[in-house]
Structure 1
Amino acid sequence: MKVAFLTATEGVEAVELTDPWEALRNAGHDTELISTESGTVQLFNHLDKTETQKVDKVVRDVSVDDYDALVLPGGVANPDELRTNDGAVQFVKDFVASGKPVAAICHAPWTLVEANVVKGRTLTSWPSLKTDIENAGGTWVDQDVMVDGNLITSRNPNDLPAFQHAVLSALN
């Protein structure tokens, strides 16, 4: 199966991209990094720059039909920037509407809020997003992973094992 990872060009929490990426590839899935611009994405370890990763495709050039699942890594700046990109928001909205798995960790549910897809859904996230999710009509829970239909959400890097297990289960 082919899985898209959607990020902005910087502010991506490294481990929230690289660990699920590796888990999916090790399970035999193809992964592609989609971003708002071509080039590379700057990864961070919290607020410190780490490595970069090459962008495979730009969001304006892809379609939900090209992928079987979508992963939204966190980091504070990454989803905040994605929220301001109409193409990225529409891609997320279309992906959720497709019924295909959409997985978001840490601050990434901000993009789900912006895409107006959390009403009536139950999610988890970094705790500071609780009010945003509730104001958007969702229910926020404090647990390592929450699966609500095709939405898979987790709170932080400590939850990566449960997050990755849920994503892999959704693809089987």
Structure 2
Amino acid sequence: MTDTLTDARVAFLVAPEGVEQVELTTPWRAVKEAGGAPELISIDGASVVQGFDHLDRADTFTVDHDITTARVDDYAALVLPGGVANPDRLRTDRAALAFVAEFFSHDKPVAAICHAPWTLIDADVVDGRRMTSYPSLQTDLRNAGAHWVDEEVVVDGRLVTSRRPNDLPAFCAALIDQINGD
């Protein structure tokens, strides 16, 4: 794994509430430590987002850009943290779905952990892909045409998926490798 991203901007897309905090902060830190520039993007004009530790409120985070002004061309990769409410809200936002789909059409890395693949289903980008997620999503992913597997991290082309917070070390390593083109 190459350890430098040479100031690559990485988009982290989250809803105003419901993001699993550790699934936001751990990849964020990995991107920064590798020399990248993470940026927080949200929807609904939110200026801050509320993190959660499972079902308990945790910290808040300042949003860098609203989805309506974010441009895929400005980013090297996209990270979709989980939490149950976060991807459930994102999957109903047209601008968020278009943003996600555009990363795939530009063949840029996308990393989704835990419940985040719900957003990928509604962005219509999972058909034919080998991927993982939190186990309760496996039926949804299979019904959308994905080949779901129970593995710590799965890389399918430029897509990185993982199951849960315990998989974050492997998830972050695969994300950095994808951004570096390794």
Choose from 127, 145, 157 the match for 1:137: 145
Choose from 112, 120, 135 the match for 1:127: 135
Within a 5 Å distance, the mapping from 1:18-167 to structure 2 comes to 18-36=25-43, 37-167=45-175
CA distance, structure 2, for counterparts of residue 23 and residue 62 of structure 1: 22
Alpha-carbon shift at residue 95 of structure 1 (Å):
0.8
CA distance, structure 2, for counterparts of residue 105 and residue 87 of structure 1: 20
> RMSD over aligned Cα, in angstroms?
0.6
Give, as a single letter, the amino acid of the residue that structure 1 aligns with 2:59: E
CA distance, structure 2, for counterparts of residue 63 and residue 24 of structure 1: 19
CA distance, structure 2, for counterparts of residue 35 and residue 98 of structure 1: 21
Unaligned stretches of 5+ residues in structure 1: none
Q: What are the Cα deviations for residues 38-60 of structure 1, in whole angstroms up to 9, with x where unaligned?
A: 31000000000000000000011
Q: Which piece of structure 1 moves more, 89-98 or 103-112?
A: 89-98
- Is the partner of 2:140 in helix, strand or coil? helix
Where has structure 1 moved over 3 Å in runs of 4 or more? none
Give, as a single letter, the amino acid of the residue that structure 2 aligns with 1:62: A
The alignment status of 1:16 with 2:15, answered yes or no, reads no
Please give the TM-score of this superposition, normalised by the length of structure 2. 0.93
Please give the TM-score of this superposition, normalised by the length of structure 1. 0.99
- Is the partner of 1:160 in helix, strand or coil? helix
CA distance, structure 1, for counterparts of residue 81 and residue 74 of structure 2: 19
Q: What are the Cα deviations for residues 68-113 of structure 1, in whole angstroms up to 9, with x where unaligned?
A: 0000000000000001100001100111111000000000000000
CA distance, structure 2, for counterparts of residue 83 and residue 20 of structure 1: 21
CA distance, structure 2, for counterparts of residue 45 and residue 7 of structure 1: 15
Unaligned stretches of 5+ residues in structure 2: 1-7
Give the total of aligned pairs: 172
CA distance, structure 1, for counterparts of residue 55 and residue 133 of structure 2: 19
Give, as a single letter, the amino acid of the residue that structure 1 aligns with 2:80: L
- Is the partner of 1:162 in helix, strand or coil? helix
Give, as a single letter, the amino acid of the residue that structure 2 aligns with 1:42: Q
2:13 matched to which residue of 1?
6
